[in-house]
């Protein structure tokens, strides 16, 4: 670069960039779509809770239409990943319906640990000494009986209650096996602590 070019470039006043004037809306919208996509795509994976907890508050700030779309995608993904179909077609008419879908998803993915803690406590099984898969397969009737008792004693929102009452027995046992393995440490701590 010549001395003259350097002088011209050095002497040129560059306009200051005001970041407030930069269009951030498309990036923000893309980010929200990415959050929604990640929530849906990570259902029933080990990364779900971390991704969900980061993304859900931003999603709750979105328009009703965006949240309604997300909820319908969640319901479709639950059918695929959990092989669960609601007894009645779920419609999303308002924010209360949206929040019910979020609560249901949270229950399926991580809040079910409360039920599992009570279940294993009442079954009086030490998860340190048992093969969860084998125990659940060999004792499915006992587990389902205990679950029915637990369901009668607790009050859950409608979608969760429907799930607990209508989920296919074979799939429910599989759900218990998978989630019990995921939350084994929490269940053990609960049962050892009283």
Q: What is the mean pLDDT of the chain?
A: 87
User: In sequence order, which residues have a C-beta less than 8 Å from that of residue 32 and are 6 or more positions away?
Assistant: 58, 59, 62, 66
How many distinct helices (H) and strands (E) make up the chain?
11, 0
pLDDT confidence band for 33 (50 / 70 / 90): confident
Express each pLDDT in 143-186 by its tens digit. 999 999 988 888 899 999 999 999 999 999 999 999 999 999 99
Domain ranges within the chain, ordered by starting residue: 25-109, 113-193
Q: Is the pLDDT of residue 14 over 60?
A: no
Express each pLDDT in 122-131 by its tens digit. 999 999 999 9
- Rounded-to-integer distance, Cα 185 and Cα 189, Å: 6
The count of other CB atoms within 10 Å of the CB of residue 92 is 20
In three-state secondary structure terms, 99 is helix
- Whether this prediction's pTM lies above 0.85 is answered by no
């Amino acid at each position: 670069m010549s001395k003259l070019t350097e002088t011209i470039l050095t002497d040129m006043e560059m306009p200051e960039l005001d970041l407030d004037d930069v269009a951030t809306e498309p990036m923000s919208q893309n980010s929200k779509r990415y959050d929604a996509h990640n929530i849906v795509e990570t259902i029933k994976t080990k990364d779900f809770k971390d991704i969900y907890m980061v993304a859900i508050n931003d999603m709750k700030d979105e328009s009703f239409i965006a949240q309604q779309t997300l909820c319908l995608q969640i319901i479709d993904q639950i059918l695929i990943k959990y092989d669960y179909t609601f007894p009645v077609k779920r419609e999303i008419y308002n924010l209360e319906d949206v929040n019910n879908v979020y609560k249901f998803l949270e229950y399926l993915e991580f809040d079910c640990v409360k039920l599992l803690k009570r279940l294993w406590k009442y079954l009086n099984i030490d998860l340190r000494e048992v093969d969860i898969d084998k125990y659940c397969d060999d004792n499915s009737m006992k587990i389902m009986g205990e679950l029915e008792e637990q369901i009668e004693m607790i009050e859950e929102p409608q979608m969760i209650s429907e799930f607990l009452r209508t989920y296919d027995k074979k799939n429910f046992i599989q759900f218990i096996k998978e989630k019990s393995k995921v939350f084994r440490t929490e269940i053990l701590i609960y049962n050892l602590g009283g």
